[in-house]
Amino acid sequence: MKTFLIIVGIIAVIVILLIVGLITASKRIEKKNKKSRVEMEMANPLPKEKQHLLAYGANLSLYRSESPRILPVKVDYETLKEGLSSYWGVSNPEEAVQTLEWLLTEGHRAKYDQLLLALKAGQSFTEEEVGKSQECYESAQEAMMKKLSFAKSDFDRVNTIAAWDFDRAVNIARWSYILGYITEEQAWSYIERAADAASHFFQSWKDYFISFAFGRAIAYEGDIYDILWNGKELLNEEDSIWNEFSIKRSGTGSR
């Protein structure tokens, strides 16, 4: 019995050390990523008004460990080109414009907003009807309440997954410009359209994040755990781009 307890104790210590090691490594990586972002921002400065526009693409930017304050990205040209082609079917100017116009005028919200409203109303669906969308939606709410301390009432204000479309539009415009599919002027035009639409749709960055998370859960049928830390940074850290600029284009300095 004594030997058994010793073994259990050793295992417990090993597990604790592994957890501490993983947390330490994660913090080290996060610190390194932030330093890299700051260095790129200093090398490619943008005026505040353009940084404000890019704030509407911050979810996906941080998810990819990129700065949400500038147009350049860390990933190399060929990797970006392959990714945009593989995941978005964008490999030329025509496809870039077509995708951006779809995201801004229709997007996934055209198909899934009604499902979101039905789920919020308490309707239940089979997996045959909606795939994993309902399961992912319920999981997303639970995760945001647990990890970000959101209240159930926070979800009541959000009736659209439009942020899922607008955030991606900002980044598709950014990448398409880098790859030479659209001009810088075109890129800023698309980004501004996304920002204007988001400013109209949402009252706070919290609402915007919830909408983005619901879009990922319902339209993409994806787990949102990997975007929670980005949300925590954007919403809670004093120097985040969301805490510098308002969700409304007319003002700054609030959420």
Q: pLDDT per residue over 131-143, tens digit each? A: 999 999 999 999 9
Q: How many whole angstroms separate alpha carbon 49 and alpha carbon 42? A: 16
Q: Residue 20 carries which side chain, given as an amino acid letter? A: V
Q: Estimate the crossing angle of helix 162-178 against helix 109-120, to 10 degrees.
A: 150
Domain count for the chain, please give it: 1
* Structural domain contains residue 113: yes
Q: How many whole angstroms separate alpha carbon 140 and alpha carbon 69? A: 27
Structure tokens at 104: 């801004």
- Partnered with residue 252 across adjacent β-strands are 245
* Structural domain contains residue 84: yes
Q: How many whole angstroms separate alpha carbon 113 and alpha carbon 162? A: 8
* Sequential pLDDT tens for the chain (255 residues): 667 667 756 776 675 666 555 545 545 655 666 677 778 878 888 999 999 999 999 999 999 999 999 999 999 999 999 999 999 999 999 999 999 999 999 999 999 999 999 999 999 999 999 999 999 999 999 999 999 999 999 999 999 999 999 999 999 999 999 999 999 999 999 999 999 999 999 999 999 999 999 999 999 999 999 999 999 999 999 999 999 999 998 744 445
Q: Which domain holds residue 165?
A: 44-244
Q: Please, are residues 51 and 44 in contact by the beta-carbon 8 Å criterion?
A: no
* pLDDT 10s digits, 26-61: 456 556 666 777 788 788 889 999 999 999 999 999
∠ CA(54), CA(194), CA(113), 5° rounding? 125
The pLDDT value given to residue 15: 59
* Structural domain contains residue 21: no
Q: How many whole angstroms separate alpha carbon 59 and alpha carbon 40? A: 18
* Structural domain contains residue 19: no
Q: Please, are residues 216 and 162 in contact by the beta-carbon 8 Å criterion?
A: no
If you compute the radius of gyration of the chain from its CA atoms, what whole number of angstroms results? 20
* Structural domain contains residue 172: yes
* Structural domain contains residue 26: no
Structure tokens at 244: 């510098």
* Structural domain contains residue 33: no
Q: Please, are residues 36 and 74 in contact by the beta-carbon 8 Å criterion?
A: yes
